[in-house]
Amino acid sequence: MDPQNSTLNELKSEILADSQLFLAKLQAGASDGELNAILDRMKQRNDLLIAIYGLKLQPEFWNILQSRLANRKRKDIIDTAL
């Protein structure tokens, strides 16, 4: 197997897993800090995609995730910092 393809597939899989985690945490009422940490991790991986392969995620992908975060209702947030 080509190591370059392996790394590309790993990055794509990690971004996909993080996007699923983001949506699950959003649904569960995670804090803004938790959700932003996931987004930051995804952005770091996207930066690697750009640097290594010249590929990047579509801007619409980021728009969807950021608007989901911005538009959630405050009552949906569960305070877990007791």
Question: Domain locations in the chain?
Answer: 3-72
Place of tokens 């080509």: 2
What was the pLDDT predicted at 72?
A: 80
Beta strands in the chain (DSSP E): none
The mean pLDDT values, 10 residues at a time, for the chain of 82 residues are 80 94 94 94 94 91 90 61 51
| 82/72 Cα distance (integer angstroms) | 22
DSSP secondary structure code for residue 74 in this structure: G
In 3D space, the residue among 30, 51, 26 whose CA is nearest the CA of residue 43 turns out to be 51
Longest Cα–Cα distance in the chain:
49
